[in-house]
Amino acid sequence: MKHLTRKQKKMLIRLIVAGIIFVPLFIIGHTHVMHDVPWYVAAPIFAVPYLIAGYDVLRKAFLNILHGQIFDENFLMCIATLGAFAVGEYPEAGEVMLLYQLGEFLQALAVGKSRRNITELMDIRPDYANALRGEEFVRVSPDEVAVGDIILVKPGEKVPLDGVVTEGTTNVDTAALTGESLPRVLNAGDEIVSGCINMSGAVKCRVTKPYGESTVAKILELVENASMGKAKSENFITRFSKYYTPIVVIIALLLGAVPPLFFGQDVGTWVKLALTCLVISCPCALVISVPLTFFGGIGGAARKGILIKGANRIEELARVQTVVFDKTGTLTNGRFSVTVVHPDSISEEELLYLAAAAECYSDHPISRSLALAYKKEIDRTQVQSVEEIAGHGVDAVIGGKRVLVGNEKLMRAQNVTFAPCKHVHHGTVVHVALDGVYAGHVEICDELKPDASDTIRLLKPRKTVILTGDRESVGKEVASRLGVDEVHCGLLPAEKVQKVEEYLVSKPQGTALAFVGDGINDAPVLSRADVGIAMGALGSDAAIEAADIVLMDDKPSAIVTAIRIAKKVRGIVRQNVIFSLAVKIGILVFELASTSSVGHSHMGLAAFADVGVLVLAVLNATRALRVKER
């Protein structure tokens, strides 16, 4: 009861009261006692539970007629039940209305559960921020904090705004954003993202974005607007209901009129069959379960850190048969690291020291990777001079000795005999020479993400392609290690768009193409593909804006999960449509046969079957919320 809304509680009370009154009347109504009761007594008695349970259905139907929206499920229920009263089938009229309202109540509970799951999942909206005002921190609304302000995030609090940690160390829980259960360690200088939960130490942060542009605000806006993009299935059901209901009414009129007028059949029998037809044909199971399934799919995906911008994106994703990847930051970490150290005339440690010291004044990713590999503090007082030679490397003096650090071009230009790297990864090779003598070389690679290989394997038999701006040897080596079908290297952003357009033209009919990129420099390609998927989008505005689907962590395996969710949703929608129509057609045929052979139809059975279909379809739809790990 605690999760019921005020409206749902009132509906439950009405159903209980109507049920308590109706059940004994229903039992008496099927005995000989009622045969002696005149209609003007029986009708008002049965009207009491009927009106208690269904007065809102009558009200909605009346208001819809006034607004020109005649043909809906409320209209069908009114005609069927009031018609039953007209032909003296009082117990059937009350039974139909009570069962219909019970189905509506159960459906409301299922929808409410789906909404609660998403609301609880996305309960990341910050309530306040501890902003520095003068000499102390004051609790204020997040939208009152300006860029550059200092905020304090205490243990257990939500991070209210995007920023950079200026003081302190902590662990943050990013599960609400990424679905990742392991906490992330943050130190001074690291970026901190709104929507996370501070788990351990208090940290001070400098705000880098106003609340309206923060990660949490953009995610909440995305999730809240996700239901706006209707899928083709939803649009089909909407159009289907628009024409289906009047057709059903016309068929019911023909059933009630043609046999008595032209074949001398009993009027009451065929009018009751016509009313039964209206009950059977109520389309609420389809109208409710299809949107609910897509809504559940969006919620289930969000729980795994996958944000889908609308039901139409789910349908496109389910049809994907070609997956095109950017390489750097998508299948690889986008962070360079030293993978091989080959000393020649000095020790491995000295080789790393010379390379790191010569590059210590550069902020290039390769320079940072050399410093990380050396692991020790570099005494910059030993670095007397550094001259950068564009396209070659650096010429430095370290401890009074001349050190050359760079590529093969630098070695050749300085007449240093060097040994080529024979390592299979084909990364960036940094050669080192000491006082004109070759000292060895270091290979630096952008390493593959741990789950990249499994991702490509699980995507089979779909076609996989890599588009990269990197040189051919690196691109082909990555594609070979992962088992990607095709790779195109040395591409500029415009050339990536051109390649994607070529694949769009040649893809099999009825299928879709997905492009997976980091969302920062791949916006043109993301928007051109059937489905644009942004990887590693935690804190990336460009990713959230450009992509159709946003993966809030940097795991490519989330693509497999997203496709699996989309296919599951599509399967549930098909199951509900086929099941609903099959049951309705089967019961209608049974009722026609029963009326033709024994002259009697079963309106109560029709109502129970209609409600049963509704409840089963809704319960099946809620399965979309549950996403199992693979």
Question: For residues 151 and 163, is the Cβ–Cβ distance under 8 A?
Answer: yes
Does the CA dihedral 302-307-308-310 come out positive or negative?
positive
How far is it between the farthest Cα atoms of the chain?
120
CA torsion sign for 470, 474, 479, 481 is negative
Q: Which has the closest alpha carbon to 330: 465, 197, 140?
A: 465
Find the catalytic residue in 72, 149, 162, 326: 326
> Are the CB atoms for 560 and 462 separated by under 8 Å?
no
- First-residue to last-residue Cα distance in the chain: 35
Cα distances (angstroms) measured from residue 320 to each of 27, 305, 555? 56, 20, 19
326 is catalytic: yes
- Round to whole Å and give the CA distance between 61 and 281: 17
Neighbours of 65 (CB within 10 A): 15
Token representation of residue 563:
């496709």
Q: Which pairs from 121-125 meet CB under 8 Å and 24+ separation?
A: 121/176, 121/299, 121/302, 121/303, 122/176, 122/219, 122/220, 122/223, 122/302, 123/176, 124/158, 124/176, 124/177, 124/194, 124/195, 124/216, 124/219, 124/220, 125/216, 125/220
Task: Provide the 3-class DSSP secondary structure of residue 172.
Answer: strand
Burial 178-191 (b: 16+ CB within 10 A, else e): bbbeebbebeeeee
Smallest Cα–Cα separation from 241: which of 276, 279, 286, 278?
Answer: 286
How far, in Å, CA of 93 to CA of 358, rounded? Answer: 90
Across 484-512, b (16+ Cβ under 10 Å) vs e yields: bbebbbebeeeebbebbeebbeebeeeeb
Q: Cβ neighbours of residue 618 under 8 Å, at least 6 residues apart?
A: 106, 107, 110, 111, 285, 288, 289, 292
How would DSSP label each residue in 1-26?
Answer: -TT--HHHHHHHHHHHHHHHHHHHHH
Instruction: Single out the residue of 608, 624, 610 nearest to residue 575, CA to CA.
Output: 624
Q: Which amino acid is at 594?
A: S
Amino acid letter, 166: T
SS3 string, 570-606, reads: HHHHHHHHHHHHHHHHHHHHHHHHHHHHHCCCCHHHH
- As a whole number of angstroms, the distance between CA 575 and CA 622 comes to 13
Q: State the sign of the Cα–Cα–Cα–Cα dihedral 531, 536, 541, 544.
A: positive
Active site residues: 326
